[in-house]
Structure 1
Amino acid sequence: MMRPALALIAIIGALTMSEPSSLAQSELDATMEPPVIITAPGPEFRDEARPGAMIIGMDRTPKGRLWGCWTGAGDKPDTYFILATSDDDGATWSKPRLVVGALDPSGKRQRSALVGNLWADPLGRLWLFFDQAVVGVPGPRADWLIRCDNPDADAPVWSKPVCFANEGCTLNKPTVLSNGDWLLPVSKWAEKTAWVYVSTDQGKSWNPRGRVKFPDWNFDEHMFVELRDGRLWLLARTQGNPHECFSTDRGKTWSEPEPAATVQNVNARFFLRRLASGRILLVKNGPPTERLSKRSHMSAYLSEDDGQTWRGGLLLDERSSVSYPDGFQAPDGLIYILYDWNRHTDAEILLAKFREEDVLAGKLVSKDAKLQMLANKATGPKPILYNGIELPYEWPPRHLDPASTEPMPVPYLRRPPKASIPIDVGRQLFVDDFLIEKVDMKRTFHQAQKHAASPVFKAETTNEMGASSSGGRGQEATCYLGHGGVFFDPRDGVFKMFYTAGWRGGLALATSRDLLHWTRPDLGFPPGGNRLLAQGNDAGHDNCVWLDVNAKRPEERIKFLTHWGSHVLKTSADGREWSQAVTTGSAGDYCSFFLNPFRHVWVFSIKQGGPRGRCRYYAESSDFLTGADWSRAVYWTNADRLDKPEPEGRYPGAGEPTQLYSLNAVAYESVLLGQFYIHRGPNNRLCDQGQFPKLTDLCLGFSRDGFHWHRPDRRAFIAGTRKEGDWDRAYLHGTAGVCVVMDDKLWFPYTGFSGIAPSGKRGMYTGGAIGLATLRRDGFASMDAGEKPATLTTRPIKFSGEHLFVNLDAPRGELRVEVLTLEDKNYGPFTAEKCVPLRCDSTRQRVTWRGVESLARASNKNVRLRFTLTNGSLYSFWVTSDPNGASHGYVAAGGPGFRGVVDSVGAGISSAPAQRP
């Protein structure tokens, strides 16, 4: 990466840090190191090199130059500021002219600048306020400023950075009072308090004047307007609607905050400013007194009575994910507003220009007014995944057709990476041809084997046995996963199963040490017994639970989605106390979510009705609760023409078109493992009339980019028996987490319905119980050879480890491995002749060569591997730094012996001979 040229910064004026500090100097060092100010930004800061954009602010300098500021990486914590200019009234914008917060000169540490603002003062000088944190160093964010006294010059010069608040963030512009004071809003996030700073000497010093604490704190983002009666009106963002308070002593003291009387808004920054005409301008999402469900409909309004009422309503941008307006009014009365759209996808900064008469008319009537002018768009770089796959700029993809019956296209299989494929993460499975260059082995896909002890968990308690009272009344003897969740908790050393106790019942917990014998612990929670939440609003029709054993915040260890009228998200540390429910967008009744750890995002599998019935939409978020915004969800997938209807004679209602009833997923080793619930009918009306369960089978898919699914085997991985009286006759459901790892096998919990209760009562949702199916570890697909030697040669690969392992079933055969150059020549001593032949059945077997200790000579080189096999099956291979065979891949929902959901122990787990699939 090119290092930015760091220019010397001229010191202009004597700016002082005058706030008394109660922090020790050692605590201040992290956030008060001199910020990195780059006055000659290199190509690494241009649009094509940046992944996102979030608006910070804009203003106009005396000769008419427009200055804009936005971030270079959206709203990520390690982002930085970019400043650009326009000398043609916003029609075109310069390349970056200034960057704040980036790699330091040594390139070893990074400063972060996340929030701030631009302001042109009455003297014509341009100020940039910004917060700073040093990435990876704990502590509060400090508030800094720099100033430019010649902002219209060809080569503007900026002052030395000054920290004026040891802890704080400035998100809105200063306000100049009638007495000449300059008031600056500063939010101290650590103490969740909105402060007022003041300069009485035209910016030579900034000092705290007053403060106020708002209920339901949400970054404050407060702003001031001086009213005609001399009071100050302060509006601030909260978790709910904005709150307001007033000051009669220029900000020293404030009235008790109350919900704003005339302004409501979604959780986002809005813009409030006194205009030259005396009117107050308000720019926000939606009408003044309406709180929208999402950040859409950016609009402008005017008040002639100091905010008591609002007039007009000019719609600037109706699209979803438009936010954070900031701007100014030029001397000729033209108003400029800069805002962002989709910070991490479209990543656009947009400009609106209009006049007061446009706002009052509710449409553009001025000749020089113009909306949705593109100021900046980040177009890259395309993210490169752990496996070398390059994601497109548009993510998630939006081009798939819900009416199509064709199988989902998989771009990375059509066009594999041209460069060597990195294989440092996880065992490399043979579920597709992603890693295969040449092969004459035969691929075989394997189905799970139902465990003889199934069902291992069935209705016993009063809540589970009794007739349901909602959502299909009268259903009996049912406990079911309903997505639920089965995870191994390394902290407590047990498997935890979150399930629904009774049809549409409450959320309950069972624990086990071996998956076969389960206990219902008495939790001592208000619902009673082993129930975490009672049925109803708290635990609704359908629940999905994820035990996040690596949660950064303890209070978010349990993540929960439920549906009762609408879907809501909650989190909890232990299931006793839950966070405030966050409502999602509209969807069907059976949604779920999962963690994609390869990209560190939470993915929501959203049920919707489409032209071909039930299907899935996709939404993602780096933060679970923020992910409740499903307004940007895109069509994802459905059953297709390869999912065959139920044949005649096996089950009632045969022949109906297949639909995708649900889709769960989990990271397993180096891929995402998808569990597709294929609905083969009949429709609910027919099932209800006949009092038997509908038919869903569990099928598999695999994804290497987290969105596109390869589904090479359309047989049911786990199927209902279709037989009257069987506990899993039909209506099979998997679970969040999909599977766990134990004794070198994969264990798949699943729900089946018999349709019959012990009382003889029949029903579509009656007789639900939970069983298990197993599979050899990595056993989804094997590459097989008979008596004649067969080979498999990989594409070019690269690894940093030095120990090669395989999952092999060849006790009566033989496997040899050789390392090749890209020209198919032997690489060093790693030849087939020197390879110690493997004749074993083991899920973790090291490959060695005579006279060579390890693969170290081939590490970080571009090479191929060629496997030669007779009379056996090869399931996977991996190269690791661990001589015990830890793959450093993901182990689904965990298992005994693992410290979390990553295999960091290798041979520390059972090394018993493998069970064949």
Structure 2
Amino acid sequence: MIPKQYSCILLTLAVVIPVWSQEPASPFPAEDKAQLFVDQVLVRETQGISFTLHPAREHPENPLVKADQPWEGWRLELYGNVIHDEEDGLFKMWYLGEETETFPNYAVYYALSKDGVHWEKPLVGTVQTDKYPSHNVVAAEIILPSVIKDNKDPDPEKRYKMIGWDQKRHGYHTWVSPDGLHWNPFSQEPLCRGGDVITGYYDEQRSLYVAFPKINHVVRGHDRRVFWLITSPDFQTWSEPELVITPDLRDDASSLARIEEARPILDVPDAPELMRTEFYGVGAYPAESCTLAFPWMLTINNEARYGNQEGPGELQLAVSRDLRHWERPFRTPCLNRGKPGEWDGGFFVCQSRALPVGDEVWLYYSASTYTHGTPCLYRAENTGRHTTHTSSIGLAIWQRDRFVSADASSDGGTLTSVPVTFTGSRLELNARVREGGSIVVSLLDAAGKELPGFETSEPITGDNLRHEVHWQGSPDLAALVGKPVMLRFTMKSAELFSFAFRKQP
């Protein structure tokens, strides 16, 4: 987090109108994509089924990256991004260090890893300084560097692209680079109004650059940090901001519960009239059929002693099918908080886009020992810098698509989908079935009548990301392609994370 305030900048930009899909929603086009249960868009009816959020598993070696170089200062944050560069066989990280005498207005740092766990800080810095002839700083006066590698751009000078906040020009801007180390300004004017926090990525399915800028907005009587959506087909011309992610009454009602978790490390007592929830940033993960987001929650308990607001942070989970309309069925952390005093007991931010790595989803994040208003952010002397307070980078991991499950106990339950159409020729389930349990699948027509040959599948048992469903007699599932069907899952002692009609390999 950056303990500074910036005024809004109003500019006139060329207007881009995003083209959003207006396909018919019923029957729902499931195609051959994994359909998750983070939202319940495809759920028509349930009996004896509950839905469960599965927080990430923290890597046992966390924190993986710490402030251990003199030019990094007393803390570092993943106010940036990590990419898995398969072409180079490397994980690459762009992150933020604390402002120091040498880099008084923040800087972008660079790290490399062969396995994504053990990181090196190569001395490839491209910013010249008198004090440190060698370092790993690749850009100065930039924060929130959302870096994208674009192998499709014919111009090698634009192989790497960056979306971020320009500390010198005080605006959201873009940069390009041939190697991720030498950066040149690209945008001439700010992408939109707002101040300091922006995350972005390239959406391959939509062929759009997507960014979420922070633009304050009044919600329930408070001027709050909220997030808007801008997109670009060419990285040059951006759409007008559209408000998409805001806190609500449900968030505010649970504020005190979140505050109590961090009570021992809060610097000021509560002011009930100021207590509220805001969004500090947004990480994203484009899944096959939806986009997941990881909102950085800030729960404010009072004004801080040295300006800004005090309060803890956490990461939660959101989901959208179109980037504009977001659901947040769960209002609890998708990544567990450490105890007060531990490295991850205070505030959380994450990379701009989570990574698919094999059969896992990796989310790099930074966490701190302090909260948003702790004096160490605003005063250097006698506030715990270099001693009790710091911020470091860790790794959170989910098995692929295992964010939310539809669960049945040993008493059993059923889940029936809405009518869908599909393009694949075999059905896969991502499911975990406990001993003595099972999942049986029936296919129905849109009126709820069982389809001949697909009345009762062979039972699914065990734990597999890709259970293949079979019916006795091996009826031809491909014969149903393009026709509306409903799926009925009869479950016992089981967790169902997703289903997909896959094409033959």
Instruction: Assess same fold via TM > 0.5.
Output: yes
Q: Which amino acid aligns with 1:676?
A: P
Out of 571, 581, 589, the residue aligned to residue 186 of structure 2 is 581
Q: Which amino acid aligns with 1:448?
A: A
Q: Which amino acid aligns with 1:581?
A: F
The correspondence of residues 348-387 of structure 1 with structure 2, limited to 5 A, is: 383-384=20-21
The answer to whether the Cα contact below 8 Å between 1:695 and 1:720 also exists between their aligned partners in 2 is no
Rounded Cα–Cα distance in structure 2 between residues aligned with 1:523 and 1:836: 58
Rounded Cα–Cα distance in structure 1 between residues aligned with 2:135 and 2:452: 61
Q: Which amino acid aligns with 1:685?
A: A
How much has 1:808 moved relative to structure 2?
A: 0.9
Rounded Cα–Cα distance in structure 1 between residues aligned with 2:413 and 2:21: 33
Rounded Cα–Cα distance in structure 2 between residues aligned with 1:577 and 1:454: 30
The correspondence of residues 876-891 of structure 1 with structure 2, limited to 5 A, is: 876-883=498-505
Structure number with higher relative contact order (C-alpha < 8 Å, ≥ 6 residues apart): 2
Q: Which amino acid aligns with 1:659?
A: E
The correspondence of residues 113-132 of structure 1 with structure 2, limited to 5 A, is: none
Equivalent position SS for 1:508: strand
Q: What residue number does 1:717 align with?
A: 334
The answer to whether the Cα contact below 8 Å between 1:639 and 1:678 also exists between their aligned partners in 2 is no
Rounded Cα–Cα distance in structure 2 between residues aligned with 1:548 and 1:502: 29
- How many residues are matched? 456
* CA displacement 1:329-350 (0-9 Å, x = unmatched): xxxxxxxxxxxxx5747xxxxx
Out of 853, 858, 862, the residue aligned to residue 484 of structure 2 is 862
Q: What residue number does 2:466 align with?
A: 844
* CA displacement 1:168-222 (0-9 Å, x = unmatched): xxxxxxxxxxxxxxxxxxxxxxxxxxxxxxxxxxxxxxxxxxxxxxxxxxxxxxx
Equivalent position SS for 2:31: coil
How much has 1:517 moved relative to structure 2?
A: 1.0
**Is 1:829 aligned to 2:453, yes or no?**
yes
The correspondence of residues 31-110 of structure 1 with structure 2, limited to 5 A, is: none
**Is 1:562 aligned to 2:165, yes or no?**
yes
5+ residue gaps, structure 1: 1-291, 296-320, 322-341, 346-381, 390-416, 467-475, 884-917
**Is 1:501 aligned to 2:97, yes or no?**
yes
Q: Calculate the TM-score normalised by the size of structure 1.
A: 0.47
Q: What residue number does 2:357 align with?
A: 742
Pick closer, same or farther for the CA change 1:548–1:529 going to 2, 3 Å. farther
Q: Which amino acid aligns with 2:146?
A: C
The answer to whether the Cα contact below 8 Å between 1:659 and 1:678 also exists between their aligned partners in 2 is yes
The correspondence of residues 584-663 of structure 1 with structure 2, limited to 5 A, is: 584=190, 585-611=192-218, 612=222, 613-627=224-238, 632-643=240-251, 644-647=254-257, 649=260, 650-651=262-263, 652=266, 653=268, 654=270, 655=272, 656-663=275-282
The answer to whether the Cα contact below 8 Å between 2:125 and 2:181 also exists between their aligned partners in 1 is no
Q: What residue number does 1:520 align with?
A: 121
Equivalent position SS for 2:304: helix
* CA displacement 1:265-315 (0-9 Å, x = unmatched): xxxxxxxxxxxxxxxxxxxxxxxxxxx9536xxxxxxxxxxxxxxxxxxxx
Runs of 4 or more off by more than 6 Å in structure 1? Answer: none
Equivalent position SS for 1:423: strand
Rounded Cα–Cα distance in structure 2 between residues aligned with 1:687 and 1:700: 31
Rounded Cα–Cα distance in structure 2 between residues aligned with 1:810 and 1:658: 37
**Is 1:707 aligned to 2:312, yes or no?**
no
Q: What residue number does 1:815 align with?
A: 439
Q: Which amino acid aligns with 2:112?
A: T
How much has 1:851 moved relative to structure 2?
A: 2.6
Q: What residue number does 1:677 align with?
A: 296
* CA displacement 1:339-373 (0-9 Å, x = unmatched): xxx5747xxxxxxxxxxxxxxxxxxxxxxxxxxxx
Out of 695, 710, 719, the residue aligned to residue 312 of structure 2 is 695
Rounded Cα–Cα distance in structure 1 between residues aligned with 2:57 and 2:496: 19
Out of 328, 335, 343, the residue aligned to residue 727 of structure 1 is 343
Bigger Cα Rg: 1
Q: What residue number does 1:752 align with?
A: 367
Equivalent position SS for 2:276: coil
How much has 1:687 moved relative to structure 2?
A: 6.5
Equivalent position SS for 2:216: strand
> What is the CA RMSD across the aligned residues, in angstroms?
3.0
Pick closer, same or farther for the CA change 1:551–1:852 going to 2, 3 Å. farther
Rounded Cα–Cα distance in structure 1 between residues aligned with 2:382 and 2:466: 49
Equivalent position SS for 2:479: helix
Equivalent position SS for 1:773: strand
The answer to whether the Cα contact below 8 Å between 2:278 and 2:299 also exists between their aligned partners in 1 is yes
Rounded Cα–Cα distance in structure 2 between residues aligned with 1:566 and 1:610: 17
The answer to whether the Cα contact below 8 Å between 2:443 and 2:450 also exists between their aligned partners in 1 is yes
The answer to whether the Cα contact below 8 Å between 1:532 and 1:575 also exists between their aligned partners in 2 is no
Q: Which amino acid aligns with 2:401?
A: D
* CA displacement 1:863-905 (0-9 Å, x = unmatched): 122211111111100011134xxxxxxxxxxxxxxxxxxxxxx
Rounded Cα–Cα distance in structure 2 between residues aligned with 1:588 and 1:446: 33
Out of 74, 77, 85, the residue aligned to residue 480 of structure 1 is 77
Pick closer, same or farther for the CA change 1:453–1:702 going to 2, 3 Å. same
How much has 1:549 moved relative to structure 2?
A: 5.4
Equivalent position SS for 1:771: strand
Equivalent position SS for 1:871: strand
Equivalent position SS for 1:658: strand
**Is 1:421 aligned to 2:28, yes or no?**
yes
Pick closer, same or farther for the CA change 1:543–1:697 going to 2, 3 Å. same
* CA displacement 1:499-546 (0-9 Å, x = unmatched): 12334532122222332211223436455656352423xxx2443323
Q: What residue number does 1:16 align with?
A: none
Q: What residue number does 2:59 align with?
A: 451
Rounded Cα–Cα distance in structure 2 between residues aligned with 1:702 and 1:879: 21
